Structure 1
Amino acid sequence: MVVAPFLFAIMASASEAMTAGSDTEPAMRNAQLPPISAVTIQNSGATSPAAREPAEQCAKFKLSNKEIRQYLGKAGEVAEHDYLHMLDWSPCYSSGEVTFKDGVKGVWEIQQYRAGSLKLNNGRTVYLYCPQCKAKAFPPAEK
């Protein structure tokens, strides 16, 4: 049957594009996002409504337009399950909108511990993680 070799080829190529995870880090793959044409910031240094109490440290979590573009360009895509269960959650976040050069638009959110999400107007939701991203607002990366 022709389907089995075809399916194997797809699985092999997908596994090559994915970086191996570990017990503490999720597997990541290239998010394959197009170049960005515009980024707007709507919330900067916000505290999640899920936080039990106001987080004063969230006021200091402010990312620049340049840092947001760098994050979206460097971050790897992670599975939704890994985003929800493996990555550290932070009550502190920044969010806004992005427009890509291909016309696709989305709403982004980046948390203080480098997890993020991107809800695109084409129906795709991308869960992101960028352990190598650097910004003054991010805590020092663990070694």
Structure 2
Amino acid sequence: MKTLTDIDKGQTVSWSLKDENIKKECKKFQPTRKQILDFFNKAQPVEGFVVNEDRYTPCFSTGKLIWNDGTSAEWSLYSSGTASLLLDNGETIHLYQRDYRWFDPTECTYGLGDEGEC
């Protein structure tokens, strides 16, 4: 990976913007540049449901990755340790990395069961 650009942290998904508590919590999601790079260097591909259901969170950051060969991808990194990459060719790749080190405002709420996973 060559570089990260256009990083925007502490965002909230649009349908949660009216909830001031969620907006306040999501502003706390402030991964560092190093944490973001570590995530993308260690993350593994997963199915889309992992990002959109199993590990869903309204808190995310966005930016752009540019590789050494000049190709790039727009990314959305979620506080739950998941991400979606939209590649130059239109393909979307979903990623997960379990041992992320940033503050996650929605930790212990994940999983498809009645009780969240910690």
Which band: TM-score by shorter chain? Answer: 0.7 to 0.9
| Residues 1-143 of structure 1: pairs in structure 2 closer than 5 A | 36-51=1-16, 53-54=19-20, 55=22, 56-85=24-53, 87-135=54-102, 137-138=103-104
Would the aligned equivalents of 2:50 and 2:56 in 1 still touch at CA under 8 Å? no
RMSD: 2.0
> What percentage of aligned pairs have identical amino acids?
26
Partner SS state of residue 69, structure 1: helix
Structure 2: gaps (5+ residues): 109-116
Would the aligned equivalents of 1:74 and 1:133 in 2 still touch at CA under 8 Å? no
Structure 1: gaps (5+ residues): 1-35
In our comparison, the structure showing a higher alpha carbon Rg is 1
Name whichever of 100-109 and 75-84 sits farther off: 75-84
CA distance in 1, matches of 2:6, 2:99: 22
Per the normalisation by structure 1, the TM-score is 0.65
Would the aligned equivalents of 2:10 and 2:27 in 1 still touch at CA under 8 Å? yes
User: Could you list the per-position Cα deviations for residues 27-78 of structure 1 after superposition, in whole angstroms to 9, with x for gaps in the alignment?
Assistant: xxxxxxxxx1110243210111021513211111111111111111111100
Partner SS state of residue 50, structure 1: helix
